[in-house]
Amino acid sequence: MVTIGPFEASKTGFTYTLSPDSYKVESVAETFGIFDTLYPFRANYFTSGKINQQDFITSDYHYISKSRFNTRTKKLIYNEKGLPTQRISSKNDNQKKVTIVDKPENQDTTDLQTVFAELARQYSIYKFCDSRMRVFDGKRRFDVIFRDEGQEELIPNQYSNISGKATKCSFHIDKLDSKGDDLLWKVTSDRPVYFWLMEDAKQKPFIARISLEKTPLGPLDVYTTEVKIKD
């Protein structure tokens, strides 16, 4: 459940699968309640790739989003090194294909969803969040910086009954002079987003809660209500 200010705004789902040599990340966001009446929106994101020792090598990234008037899609074509070579996007029936120029600063980068798969593996092994990950989304080059913020005890509330000791972490985006005009880009580069990691019965990490103190509509909080981590 996602709340923004006094509103129950949307429902989200996040699934990741890690094996010794591959990974997959899927997420979905869908407006809820009065927000769905005023601003209907749904988005699905999918990423998959290979794991070679310590390296996550993306092979597929695509998403589709639908609002009241528009349907948008984006797909990145990757080479064998996990670098995007082509960006295919569309708005309604208009498609655009762009060849991505290979630049030195884009080497050893990944996509934003893979970042959280990498974090999950790091935390499951080392039990900490601290890291700086290089991201290239086909247009913008930026870094995602994670920090440990200590341990806290989560208590159940009206949105989630998940409770217990959790590791508090934060992340923010270092834009590296890249430009962007979407809301997530703006708020995560202006101030940190806090999240709390816990482990399920099989000691697999999941995000129990997320908190952003300030958005144009008020504070944003995400509460995990159900945990399903695939083997």
pLDDT band of residue 7 (cuts 50, 70, 90) is confident
Supply 95's token pair: 């498609």
For the chain, how big is the Rg over CA atoms in Å?
A: 18
Per-residue pLDDT, averaged over 24-44, amounts to 92
Closest CA relative to residue 134, chosen from 104, 107, 116: 107
Distance between terminal CA atoms of the chain? 24
Q: How many residues does the chain have?
A: 231
Predicted local confidence at residue 1, as pLDDT = 86
* CA–CA gap between residue 184 and residue 186 (Å, rounded): 5
* CA–CA gap between residue 114 and residue 126 (Å, rounded): 18
| pLDDT at position 119 over 90 | yes
| pLDDT at position 60 over 60 | yes
Predicted local confidence at residue 187, as pLDDT = 58
Contact 132, 145 (CB under 8 A): yes
Supply 192's token pair: 């940190």
Predicted local confidence at residue 149, as pLDDT = 96
Predicted local confidence at residue 229, as pLDDT = 57
Tens digits of per-residue pLDDT, 61-110?
Answer: 999 999 999 999 999 999 998 999 999 999 998 999 999 998 888 888 99
User: What is the percent of the chain where pLDDT is above 90?
Assistant: 65
Tens digits of per-residue pLDDT, 168-201?
Answer: 999 988 888 766 555 555 556 668 899 999 998 8
* CA–CA gap between residue 224 and residue 154 (Å, rounded): 12
Q: What is the pTM of this model?
A: 0.87
Predicted local confidence at residue 85, as pLDDT = 95
Q: What's the whole-number average pLDDT of the chain?
A: 89
E strands, the chain, in order: 2-4, 7-18, 22-31, 41-52, 55-67, 71-78, 84-91, 94-99, 131-136, 141-154, 164-174, 193-199, 205-212, 220-223
What is the sign of the dihedral through the CA atoms of 111, 112, 115 and 116? negative
Tens digits of per-residue pLDDT, 199-231?
Answer: 988 888 999 999 998 888 889 899 998 876 555
Predicted local confidence at residue 184, as pLDDT = 56
